[in-house]
Amino acid sequence: MGRNVLAQVSQQALRHNVKEVRKLAANAKIIAMIKANAYGHGLAKVAKTIHDVDAFGVACIDEALLIRKEGVQTNIVLMEGIFRDEELELVQKYHFTLVVHHWRQIQALQQYPKTTPEKFKIWIKINTGMNRLGFSPNEFDEAYTVLSNLPHVDLIGFMTHFAKADEKNSTLTQQQSDLFNQIVGKRPGQRCLANTAGILAWSQTHGDWVRPGLMLYGASPFADSTGKDFNLIPAMTLSSEIIAVRDVGMGEKVGYGGTWENNKKTSKIGIVAFGYGDGYPWHAKNGTPVLVNGQRVQTVGRVSMDMLAVDLSSLNNVEVGAPVILWGKGLPIEEVARHAGTLPYELFCRFTERVQVEIVS
Ligand SMILES: *Cc1c(COP(=O)(O)O)cnc(C)c1O
């Protein structure tokens, strides 16, 4: 009822994309990244669909609890570890795995009673150049020594994160990877480095575990490609409909600020029930692609809160109610992102509660 704005998420596509990760990183285990509501695809539904990955990665304990309480038994890694000491009890109770990236987190573990029913499973995060989280090369030895001597800690392995793996010509990824290997040395434990761009472009960094996010949802992190180039299938199709059609004459303008002017005798303008209040990027330029009746058209004028306008002049017989796809099947989200000066990551994460997310087989 009401506005017909819908994000359909395909289970088949999600499963297919997991298989592609397994093909590319055949010797590695998978931490499927499902933080931020599974990049907008629906945390619990995505987790249930691909529960047979080796682990899930989430940003915080709330996300982890949500899927445990939905009955998902898969290992869950808290990628930023604990934010508050009190979380350690829940980590025990629900068998979560921790990333440890800061001395503060080591102190919390040191202070926790050593008589835990099971050991804390942890990954040590190493900062190799991203300068976001992790122990720097000169701190690592000490952090490692303290953690590996704690009787209630089971050190699974070592992690780092790439800053520029989406830039295929940059030397930074290789440098980060070399530094990581040098720091970790021959210490026992698993190695985990690669995000989607690492998996797709830097096979020498696959290590023992990989951490795909974006590619699970069928999109590419590179500026010059789409998921299809890597045999990925977009998991989400975001749709709405045409709610008005009008002819505008030469010299007439469309939308707030009149930023688009018709320079033909007449143009047929369609109004789509989708705007920035639903999560469409306001920055999308004139000419951003949209599918109407399965055909490509372009946006005209500024995006409004609830609506956006498209030029339907190239199509015949478009009526009110015609189906619209904003991205997904037939229209890669990467293209929309490029027109809006943003990334597929951000588009996935920004749409609002107004959009009904539905999982389909
Ligand atoms: C989000 C995240 C990933 C996944 O990145 P993608 O580019 O989406 O594959 C991997 N590792 C860490 C630490 C992350 O935070």
Domain boundary among 219, 251, 283: 219
Domain boundary among 219, 247, 276: 219
> Which residue is it, tokens 């509501």?
37
Residue type at position 115: T
Inform me whether the pLDDT recorded for 20 exceeds 80: yes
Can you tell me the mean pLDDT for 146-159? 98
pLDDT of residue 2: 85
Distance set, CA 81 to CA 59, 92, 156 (Å): 8, 13, 14
Tell whether 261 and 193 lie within a shared domain: no
pLDDT of residue 19: 98
Number of domains the chain is built from:
2
Burial 176-196 (b: 16+ CB within 10 A, else e): bbebbbebbeeeeeebbbbbb
Half-sphere exposure of 38 (CA within 13 A, CB side): 24
Q: pLDDT for 219-265, tens place per residue?
A: 999 999 999 999 999 999 999 999 999 999 999 999 999 999 999 99
d(Cα 15, Cα 17) in Å, to the nearest integer?
5
Tell whether 106 and 212 lie within a shared domain: yes
> Which residue is it, tokens 């055909």?
295
Q: What mean pLDDT, rounded, does the chain reach?
A: 97
Atom of ligand 1 nearest to the CA of 197: 7
pLDDT of residue 233: 98
Tell me, yes or no, if 256 is annotated catalytic: yes
pLDDT of residue 351: 85
Half-sphere exposure of 102 (CA within 13 A, CB side): 13
> Which residue is it, tokens 């009746």?
293
In angstroms, what is the span from residue 195 Cα to ligand 1's centroid? 5
Global pTM exceeds 0.95: yes
DSSP string covering 44-93: HHHHHHTTTSSEEEESSHHHHHHHHHTT--S-EEETT--SSTTHHHHHHH
Domain CATH number, residue 328: 2.40.37.10
Tell whether 18 and 142 lie within a shared domain: yes
> Which residue is it, tokens 């090369």?
137
Residue 244's domain comprises: 236-360
In angstroms, what is the span from residue 229 Cα to ligand 1's centroid? 20
pLDDT of residue 169: 95
Domain boundary among 219, 254, 282: 219
Tell me, yes or no, if 23 is annotated catalytic: no
Which residues are CB-neighbours of 330 under 8 A, at least 6 positions away? 291, 294
Tell whether 171 and 256 lie within a shared domain: no
Q: pLDDT for 165-196, tens place per residue?
A: 999 999 999 999 999 999 999 999 999 999 99
pLDDT of residue 316: 92
Answer whether residue 5 is part of any domain. no
Q: pLDDT for 269-326, tens place per residue?
A: 999 999 999 999 999 999 999 999 999 999 999 999 999 999 999 999 999 999 999 9
- In this structure, the chain runs to a length of 361
In angstroms, what is the span from residue 199 Cα to ligand 1's centroid? 11
Answer whether residue 178 is part of any domain. yes
Inform me whether the pLDDT recorded for 1 exceeds 80: no
Q: pLDDT for 50-90, tens place per residue?
A: 999 999 999 999 999 999 999 999 999 999 999 999 999 99
Tell whether 205 and 297 lie within a shared domain: no
